[in-house]
């Protein structure tokens, strides 16, 4: 049994958990805290849950509005409404709005709660079984030409010659996920190794047990398709965050998290090779994660993959050696991180030109730009990140992390970064 508990009170959530674990030893309770997380995502039907326990005033809002919102979503599970006090009128209103039952929070009867949860579970599983046998399910579970049962397609997010990316809801895991789907499994004559690259991408990320690396949930393989289920980031990417304005303190925090992620992936023998704001995703709790290792490869993999001279990455963020097709290592990712740091602090990219090749030329030949005076304390760090010669950069992401921490300790007495003045957010021109 899987239950979604929507309530702001941590003590009450703990109490409900105790009731549920006593009645159902293997039950999974997922908490949603309205004051922190807001409403459930509009795309989320919660179909993978067997029941929802809903407080009467989530985030101080009328619980009936939340109830109406949920019951209006297809396959939304039965709702047990939690009243503030014994009030027959309120209980009747909850049932009229679609609640399976209305229980008084201060008088939870253990047996009644267990009985209502069992009833909800039975109703929800019947509803899912009926839906999955219906013609509508064929469309709901289809991603392009591929049908994946238990994954409901919400919308396409991106597409390329190699893969397509969708937002989906996993009914088995009761969460939104990003689904990356290979368009076709290449045959033995495939010279580009498209399918091998796709599987390699999964193997690389799967090894990353780090809070700043995207979480991979599942790999699916069949005769004619393969797919990866991965973490969905409701808060968007760093590019969007920068457009809204980012303070110097926030920029350095982002830098530190990205450097920690690089230290982890480099330690596992992996290069990212395509670091840019669009590949840095934000979570609601302020943490971030690196995504899209489609251009990453293990350091030990031989160079045949790129023997054709193919250029990987994005010119604005490419190291000089990467832009000119030379051998790259971890220091190339550090260079890209330095470009992102400059952009976060100034609101503009360090090198601009009319063509991609002209941008690549500037990375190799134009002087390292100066940060505005108010950010001059970070100039030395920046110069060691985006030095033209890789030998002059930080030699590892671990070394970069140590340098960031040392600079933050040095500045701590004056709180030069931690206490940003009002209006310090940098917005791109």
Task: List the CATH number of the domain containing 368.
Answer: 1.10.510.10
- 262 and 367 both lie in a single domain: yes
* Contact call for residues 167 and 236 (beta carbons, < 8 A): no
Kindly give the pairing relationship between strand 51-55 and strand 2-6: parallel
In a domain, 425, yes or no: no
What pLDDT, on the 0 to 100 scale, is given for residue 303?
35
Mean pLDDT computed over 159-167 = 82
Q: For residue 62, how far is the Cα from the chain centroid?
A: 30
pLDDT of residue 246: 94
Return phi, psi of residue 9, to 5°. Answer: -85, 110
421 domain residue, yes or no: no
Other beta carbons less than 10 A from residue 304's beta carbon: 8
Domain span including residue 104: 2-132
Average pLDDT over residues 312-316: 72
For residues 243 and 359, state if they share a domain.
yes
| Cα–Cα distance measured from residue 70 to residue 341, given in angstroms and rounded to the nearest whole number | 41
Strands 163-170 and 216-221: unpaired
Tell me, yes or no, whether 256 and 379 share the same domain.
Answer: yes
| Interval 164-170 mean pLDDT | 93
328 within 8 A of 310, measured Cβ to Cβ: no
According to the model, what pLDDT value does residue 62 have? 97
Instruction: Look up residue 76 and give its DSSP letter.
Output: P
pLDDT at 298: 43
- Across residues 270-292, what is the average pLDDT? 90
Catalytic residue flag (residue 329): no
In the chain, the largest separation of any two C-alpha atoms, in whole Å, equals 77
More confident residue, 299 or 239: 239
* Residue 169 and residue 152 in contact, taking contact as beta carbons nearer than 8 Å: yes
Structure confidence at residue 414 (pLDDT): 62
Which is catalytic among the residues 7, 50, 253, 274? Answer: 274
Q: CA 76 to CA 56: how far, in whole Å?
A: 18
Last residue of a domain, which of 105, 132, 159? 132
Last residue of one domain, picked from the residues 96, 117, 132: 132
For the ranges 132-141, 184-193, 205-214, the one whose mean pLDDT is highest: 132-141
Q: What is the total count of domains within the chain?
A: 3
Q: What is the CATH number of the domain that holds 170?
A: 3.30.200.20
Q: How far is CA 265 from CA 46, 227, 261, 273, 333, in A?
A: 33, 22, 6, 11, 11
Q: Residue 330 pLDDT > 80, yes or no?
A: yes
First to last CA, the chain: 51
Q: How much is the pLDDT for 301?
A: 41
Residue showing tokens 């690259």: 197
Q: CA torsion 116→117→121→122, rounded to 10°?
A: -30
- The sign of the dihedral angle between the CA atoms of 381, 385, 387, 392 is positive
| Percent with pLDDT over 70 in the chain | 86
Is this model's pTM higher than 0.75 or not? yes
Q: Mean per-residue pLDDT for 260-271?
A: 90
The whole-number pLDDT of residue 380 equals: 96
Radius of gyration of the chain, Cα coordinates, nearest whole angstrom:
25
Q: Give the model's pLDDT for residue 307.
A: 40
Same domain, 204 and 304: no
Please check whether residues 75 and 177 belong to one and the same domain. no
Residue 204's pLDDT band, with cuts at 50, 70 and 90, is confident
């Amino acid at each position: 049994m899987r239950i979604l508990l929507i309530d702001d009170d941590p003590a009450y959530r703990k109490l409900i958990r105790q009731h549920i674990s006593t009645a159902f030893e293997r039950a999974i309770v997922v908490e949603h805290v309205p004051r922190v997380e807001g409403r459930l995502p509009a795309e989320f039907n919660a179909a993978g849950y067997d029941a929802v326990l809903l407080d009467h005033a989530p985030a101080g809002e009328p619980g009936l509005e939340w109830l109406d919102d949920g019951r209006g979503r297809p396959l939304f599970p039965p709702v047990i409404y939690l009243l503030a006090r014994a009030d027959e009128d309120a209980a009747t209103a909850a049932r009229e709005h679609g609640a399976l039952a209305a229980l008084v929070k201060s008088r939870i009867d253990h047996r009644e709660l267990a009985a209502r949860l069992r009833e909800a579970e039975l109703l929800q599983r019947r509803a899912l079984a009926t839906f999955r046998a219906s013609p509508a399910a064929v469309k709901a579970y289809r991603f392009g030409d591929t049908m994946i049962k238990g994954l409901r397609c919400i919308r396409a997010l991106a597409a390329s010659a190699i893969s397509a990316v969708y937002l989906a809801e996993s009914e088995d895991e009761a969460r939104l996920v990003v689904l990356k789907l290979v368009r076709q499994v290449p045959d033995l004559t495939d010279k580009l190794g498209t399918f091998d690259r796709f599987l390699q991408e999964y193997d690389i990320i799967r090894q990353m047990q780090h809070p700043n690396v995207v979480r991979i949930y599942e790999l699916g393989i069949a005769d004619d398709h393969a797919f990866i289920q991965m973490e969905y980031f409701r808060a968007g990417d760093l590019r969007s965050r920068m457009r809204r304005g980012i303070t110097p303190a926030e920029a350095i925090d982002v830098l530190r998290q990205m450097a920690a992620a690089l230290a982890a992936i480099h330690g596992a023998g992996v290069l990212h090779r395509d670091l840019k704001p669009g590949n840095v995703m934000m979570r609601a709790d302020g943490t971030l994660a690196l995504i899209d290792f489609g251009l990453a490869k293990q350091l030990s993999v031989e160079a045949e993959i790129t023997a054709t001279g193919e250029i990987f990455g994005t010119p604005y963020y490419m190291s000089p050696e990467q832009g000119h097709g030379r051998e790259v290592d971890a220091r190339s990712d550090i260079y890209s991180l330095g470009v992102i740091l400059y952009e976060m602090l100034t609101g503009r990219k360090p090198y601009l030109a009319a063509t991609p090749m002209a941008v690549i030329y500037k990375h190799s030949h134009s002087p390292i730009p100066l940060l505005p005076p108010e950010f001059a304390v970070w100039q030395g760090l920046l110069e060691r990140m985006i030095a033209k010669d890789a030998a002059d950069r930080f030699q590892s992401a671990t070394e970069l992390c140590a340098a960031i921490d040392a600079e933050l300790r040095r500045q701590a007495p004056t709180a030069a970064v931690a206490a940003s003045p009002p209006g310090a957010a940098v917005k791109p021109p």
